[in-house]
Amino acid sequence: MNDKEFALFIENEKLQQAVESIANQMNEDLADKNPLFIVVLNGAFIFAADLIRRFQHDCETSFVKLSSYQGTKTTHTVRELIGLDEDVNGRTIVLVEDIIDTGITMDNTIRQMKNMGAAEVKVATLLFKPQAFQKDFEISYKGMDIPNDFIVGYGLDYDGQGRHLPHIYKITE
């Protein structure tokens, strides 16, 4: 893809199992909470679509668009490209992310939600890179831990390419 080589890393079937397990936990925890799912675009759109369709109780869904990556590297600053127009005051918020790497994006967003008066802010991520994590917020729902390598597919891109791929691929250089 572009100038880089990638190899198959996580098959869609395994991703679906992770999504199913998160959805089961949410169906137990959030049944009476009417949660507001806030999907962090762009990367989380596929995960969010698979996850939220498995939620069996009242809920709302909205989107924010944030960007911290350029190419295969984090820039350590988070740009907000599209903001939120829902009222989060008093709500149970579930932030839906594709992957937590340094944690900078989520840390920022959690703070923002709390400042805006959210009653509780929970974090759901399909993937987590423990070796890159620099923050200490709690992750309520996590699909799986992965090593500190750059990946694409299932919503995640490399400079805009590869979001459509059903499986996840890892960079081999």
**Footprint of Mg ion (CB under 5 A):** 40, 43, 98
Q: Which helix (H) or strand (E) holds 17?
A: helix 12-29
Place of tokens 């990556």: 69
We find the least distance from the C-beta atom of residue 63 to Mg ion, in angstroms, to be 12
- The footprint of ligand 5GP on this chain (CB under 6 A) covers a number of residues equal to 18
19 within 8 A of 143, measured Cβ to Cβ = yes
The one-letter amino acid code at 117 reads G
Tell me the catalytic residues.
101
Q: Judged by CB under 6 A, which of 92, 98, 140, 165 binds ligand 5GP?
A: 98
Q: Judged by CB under 6 A, which of 26, 43, 92, 165 binds ligand 5GP?
A: 43
Alpha helices, DSSP H only, in 57-162? 104-115
Does 137 contact ligand 5GP by CB under 6 A? no
Does 143 contact ligand 5GP by CB under 6 A? no
Looking at residue 166, the DSSP 8-state letter turns out to be: S
How far is 30 from 92, CA to CA, in rounded Å?
9
Q: Which residues bind ligand 5GP (CB under 6 A)?
A: 43, 68-69, 74, 97-105, 150-152, 156-157
